[in-house]
Amino acid sequence: MTTSTTDHTNAGRTDVDPTDPSQVNAPDDLDTTSTDPASAGLEPGTAENLGVDGLRVPVAGAALAAVRSYTETTVPDVSRADRVRSTDPDDFAVPTGREEEWRFTPLHRVRDLFTPAAEGEQAVSVVVRTDDPAVEDVEHAAGEGVARPGDRIAAVAQSTASVRRTVRVPAEHVVAEPIRVDLTGTGGRGAVDLVIDVGAFSSATVLVDHTGDATFAGTVGIRVGDSANVTVVSLQSWDATATHVGQHDAVLGRDSSFRHVAVSLGGDLVRMDVNVEYTGPGASSECFGLYFADAGQHLEHRLFVDHSAPTCTSNVTYKGALQGKDAHTVWIGDVLIRKEAEGINTYELNRNLVLTEGARADSVPNLEIETGQIEGAGHASATGRFDDEQLFYLQARGIRPLQARRLVVLGFFAEILQQIGIESVQDRLLEVVEQRLQDAALLDPTDDDVLGETVPAVPHAVTSEHSTQTTTGNPQEHTS
């Protein structure tokens, strides 16, 4: 599919012709009654509108052309269904930073990625390792990617990628050991398009491991065949200087099970989109995430679960910790329950633990419901600091402050780590988390229990506007 847009030069104007089929460009065959321009009855807008939250949202740009009927209103991006998906970078204007999908990202740190790398520059190598001869590892051509880019960086990456690899598992085959895909940066720009294609009734775990240094943009398309069972673990274990903007799209077949685990510990900036869609009934997805931002680090995870088929389930659980000045994490959890998605059940959860002053966690769950005929839908988001009472309890049993914090943080992450299911990886990640906590303790003199202070040092939390139990637009719980 393609989502062409019109009139880039006409940015700032909204005189879109609703009769032009090329402009009725919501992805797929969404029932567009809710975006019917005629019913909107709106007058042409001005170049900028005041968003609901007071942000000035420019109407300029192709990304917003898709929501043409709403560009005149105060809601700039009314439905996730209306966002542009396109392989053509020119379908996405270079963002200004005021767009809903970019407003949390420090654009100056990703700006390079809006334009293609120099010809021949490829600073990221890809090695696929598996001991199963039935697993195919082949190159695919441009245009054969499975991911459908949802922003300019992903479109640039996919269209200009110098490495395009497909890992294919045939139908009715169980891959016993995890397939490893090592993406190693050697400094400089890199763009990679991966396809993970698992046939019907098959089962596989794929570990995508990002290490080294790079200014990297990547797309990963995951095809989960009917009744297949697929786990993708993506580790962002970059060096401290790396930049990574990535998009993972999973397309789930009938009765399939899909698990995605994103672990972002390294890099200067990581921004990941994880999108899940369903092509048949009875499929289930679970998306887990773990992130730990240090001083100056920006770690952003954006989830979009598109319930496009009946009787499917989705569960999203992301947990993050932050420490140090200007550590910033962003979690966006969008769930769209389309009209046809009757009988589905969805829940999403984000928890953040702010360990020191000066860190910021943004958390925005969004639930869009187009049918009431569902089993359940809910979300929760909470951001807090160390719990004084937990620390007191542990210390009252003789456990030193640093050790007490370690127990609390590892306990906090435990449920996500357990999902990875690859022991060597879990151990490696545990080590990184422990090292982070040790480093922080060395930097923070209040942690020094030799001082014999009677009050445990409890950092002050700086949390976002969406700090606790945030609900955007829809009720916290919806059950029918």
**Complete DSSP assignment for 316-360:** EEEEEEE-STT-EEEEEEEEEE-TT-TT-EEEEEEEEEE-STT-E
Closer residue to other proteins (CB): 112 or 388: 388
Let me know: does 347 contact 317? Beta carbons within 8 Å: no
Considering only 138, 414, 442, 443, the residue that binds other proteins (CB under 8 A) is 414
Q: Helix or strand or coil: residue 8?
A: helix
Q: How many CB atoms lie within 10 A of CB 377?
A: 26
Residue 394 in the binding site for other proteins (CB under 8 A):
yes
Which range of residues in 224-232, 356-364, 383-391, 468-476 is near other proteins by CB under 8 A? 383-391
Q: Which CB, 130 or 381, lies closer to other proteins? A: 381
Assess 460 for contact with other proteins (CB under 8 A). no
As measured in angstroms, the least distance from the Cβ of 415 to other proteins is 6
Please report whether residue 304 would count as binding other proteins according to CB under 8 A.
no
* Closer to other proteins by Cβ: residue 15 or 387: 387
- Residue from 403, 426, 471, 474 that binds other proteins (CB under 8 A)? 403
For position 396 contacting other proteins by CB under 8 A, the verdict is: yes
Does 431 engage in binding with other proteins (CB under 8 A)? Answer: no
Q: For every residue of 138-197, which 3-state class applies, written as one string?
A: EECCCCCCCCCCCCHHHHHHHHHCCEEEEEEECCCCECCCCEEEEEEEEEEEEEEEEEEE
Smallest gap from Cβ 413 to other proteins, in A, equals: 7
**What counts of helices (H) and strands (E) characterise the chain?**
6, 19
In sequence order, what are the residues at sequence separation of 6 or more whose Cβ sits closer than 8 angstroms to the Cβ of residue 199?
168, 169, 170, 171, 172, 173, 225, 228
Among 74, 400, 473, 479, which residue sits at the site for other proteins (rule: CB under 8 A)? 400
Amino acid letter at 290?
Answer: L
- Interacting span for other proteins (CB under 8 A) from 21-29, 117-125, 285-293, 451-459: 451-459
Q: Which of 75, 295, 349, 399 binds other proteins (CB under 8 A)?
A: 399
Copy the structure tokens of residue 75.
């809601």
Residue in 421, 445, 26 with CA at minimum distance from that of residue 203: 421
In the list 33, 455, 460, 465, the residue contacting other proteins (rule: CB under 8 A) is 455
Residue 94's SS3 state is coil
Q: Does 465 bind other proteins (CB under 8 A)?
A: no
Stretch that binds other proteins, among 131-139, 195-203, 223-231, 390-398 (CB under 8 A): 390-398
3-state class (DSSP) for residue 392: helix
Q: How far is the CB of 445 from other proteins (least distance, A)?
A: 14
Q: Which is nearer to other proteins, 273 or 447 (CB)?
A: 447
Least distance from other proteins to the Cβ atom of residue 297, Å: 23
How many residues line the site for other proteins (CB under 8 A)? 31
Q: Is 129 in the site for other proteins (CB under 8 A)?
A: no
- C-beta of residue 194 within 8 angstroms of C-beta of residue 208: yes
Closest among 411, 417, 308, 289 to 368, alpha carbons compared: 308
Spatial CA neighbour of 252 closest among 230, 223, 274, 286: 223
452 binds other proteins (CB under 8 A): yes
- The residue (of 120 and 398) whose beta carbon lies closer to other proteins is 398
Stretch that binds other proteins, among 37-45, 271-279, 454-462, 472-480 (CB under 8 A): 454-462
Under the binding rule (CB under 8 A), the answer on residue 398 touching other proteins is yes
- Nearer to other proteins by Cβ, of 21 and 398: the residue is 398
- 69, 40 Cβ separation under 8 angstroms: yes
If one asks whether residue 408 binds other proteins (CB under 8 A), the answer comes out as yes
Amino acid at 71: T
Given a contact cutoff of 8 angstroms between Cβ atoms, the answer to whether 376 and 347 are in contact is yes
The least distance separating other proteins from the CB of residue 264, rounded to whole angstroms, comes to 19
Q: Is 411 in the site for other proteins (CB under 8 A)?
A: yes
Binding site for other proteins (CB under 8 A): 387-390, 392-401, 403-404, 407-408, 410-415, 449, 452-456, 458
